[in-house]
Amino acid sequence: MKRYHLTTFGCQMNAHDSERIKGMLEELGLGEATTQDDADVLVFNTCTIREKPDQKFAAHLAQAAALKARDPLKVIAVGGCYAEAQKERLFELYPYVDVAFGPGSIPHLGDWVGAGGHAPRGRFGEWESFAGDLPAHRERGFQAWVQVSMGCNSTCSYCIVPAVRGREQSRRPGDIVAEVATLARDGVREITLLGQNVNSYGRDLLPAVRTEFGELLRACDAIDGIERIRFTSPHPKDFRSPVIEAMAECAAVCEHAHLPLQSGSSRLLKLMRRTYTQERYLALVAELRGAIPDLALGTDIIVGFPGETEDDFRETLDVIEEVRFDSAFTFVYSPRQGTDAAAMPDQVPAAVKSERIERVIAVVQRIARERNQERVGRIEQVLVEGPSRTDESVLRGRTRRNTTVNFTGAAAAGDLVDVRIEGASSTTLRGAQVAPGTTLGAGAVAGAVTA
């Protein structure tokens, strides 16, 4: 039996696509190899959101080329967003790449990988079927990604995604609900709905099946066995009240939202073409928190966007202080070929970018630590993921608010347990499992009253 080895870069969308690449290859009769050495086909599912993933991939590819130099029968296949972005020159840049495919061409993998793939061949720009409808090889039995849409119709001036993932297309609600029901029957308890902008979901569907994102949340919530629903990413510009109401009313929808801010300066947001202002973003946060009091908020921040002044940057810090995010991914702006921002004047010098990223990380980490410390003493529901990464005798899981908890206890991966939180850092909580139904205790309440 021929064997493949797959390396994945990038976001959850790519991780989801990789499950389908594996599913497709296994359906073609290939087995999974544990190392690249043992594999006949070396597959890379690439990302090109910033320069860093490009460089990381280049380093991996150099290693693969060295393996192929020793064993010329190995096939090197490059898929994903970098492949799509570089389709004109990929085979020129890397002559040892045998086949390449864009994110939309995973359904056609069988057409050439199975055929040996020795002549340079590539398939790109095909967007006719959803990865979510392909066979899957999933790593975890109790958690699953579910694709709700492909592509992106936004025009954020820094972003390469619309160029490499095509126009937005919503998947039919019936297909999504059917997939979630099947997952639930297979033992999945937590789903994460995936789309570049889940809040514009459904707007392109034909009237007969048109469903908005809030209704989709309700339909998933009604499926027996699904105890947790997450989604990523919502675009602040399209986050409307019906979705907030659905989040508040659906028991399974977790108290967590990832709400990319990008910048706190309305001037910069305009140059970024995010189509919301600082005020509108803050109003949305207030509405979300009003409806879902215990909501955890995550975000994405870009520093060093062209033209960003010290004042613009300070506005970003101010919004971070005001919102008090529970977590944040912070990025140095990276020019992407073909995007409008890459051609803008006033690119920010590297030294200024690195000074700003350090400052923003310090603020984000301090607030995240404080937010996590506020959880100490509470009892949180945790979905167990397995042993802790650093200490086998400790378990690891996630709260509904999406924070990782390391805790002592006795439970299996996939169990939902109650954990008393005893300690916190900026990224994780620490605690101990308690019996189901344990409350904070009358003593604690009485103590608070008499104090």
CB of 202 to ligand SF4, least distance (A): 16
If one asks whether residue 152 binds ligand SF4 (CB under 6 A), the answer comes out as: yes
HSE-CB for 427 with a 13 A CA cutoff:
5
Q: Which does 48 bind (CB under 5 to 8 A by kind): ligand SAH, ligand F3S, ligand SF4, none?
A: ligand F3S
Q: Whose Cβ is closer to ligand F3S: residue 103's or residue 397's? A: 103
* Complete DSSP assignment for 88-119: TTHHHH-TT--EEE-GGGGGGGGGTSTT---S
Task: Return residues touching ligand F3S (CB under 6 A).
Answer: 10-11, 13-14, 47-49, 81, 161, 164-165
What long-range pairs does 444-450 form, CB within 8 A, spacing at least 24?
444/377
Residues 189-228 that bind ligand SF4 (CB under 6 A): 196-197
Single residue of 199, 333, 368, 424 touching ligand SAH by CB under 6 A: 333
Q: Which does 162 bind (CB under 5 to 8 A by kind): ligand F3S, ligand SF4, ligand SAH, none?
A: ligand SF4
Q: Identify which range of 19-27, 158-166, 168-176, 349-357 contacts ligand SAH by CB under 6 A.
A: 158-166
* Complete DSSP assignment for 35-85: SSTT-SEEEEEE--SSHHHHHHHHHHHHHHHHHHHH-TT-EEEEEEHHHHH
HSE-CB for 373 with a 13 A CA cutoff:
9
241 CB-near residues (< 8 Å, 6+ apart): 287
Q: 3-class DSSP state for residue 197?
A: coil
Residues 216-255 that bind ligand SAH (CB under 6 A): 233, 235
d(CA 103, CA 419): 40
H-helix or E-strand spanning residue 143: strand 143-147
Give how far Cα 159 sits from Cα of 17, 100, 270, 352, Å: 20, 22, 14, 21
CB of 3 to ligand SF4, least distance (A): 34
CB of 46 to ligand SF4, least distance (A): 16
If one asks whether residue 154 binds ligand SF4 (CB under 6 A), the answer comes out as: yes
CB of 8 to ligand SAH, least distance (A): 16
Identity at 354, one-letter amino acid code: S
Q: Whose Cβ is closer to ligand SF4: residue 99's or residue 164's? A: 164
CB of 171 to ligand SF4, least distance (A): 17
Q: 3-class DSSP state for residue 301?
A: strand
Residues 298-327 that bind ligand SAH (CB under 6 A): 300, 302
Site string for ligand SF4, 84-113 (x = CB under 6 A): ------------------------------
Q: Which does 264 bind (CB under 5 to 8 A by kind): ligand F3S, ligand SAH, ligand SF4, none?
A: none
d(CA 28, CA 25): 5
Q: Whose Cβ is closer to ligand SAH: residue 196's or residue 406's? A: 196
49 CB-near residues (< 8 Å, 6+ apart): 10, 11, 81, 159, 160, 161, 334, 336
Contacts to ligand SAH by CB under 6 A = 49-50, 158-159, 161, 196-197, 233, 235, 260, 262, 300, 302, 331, 333-334, 336
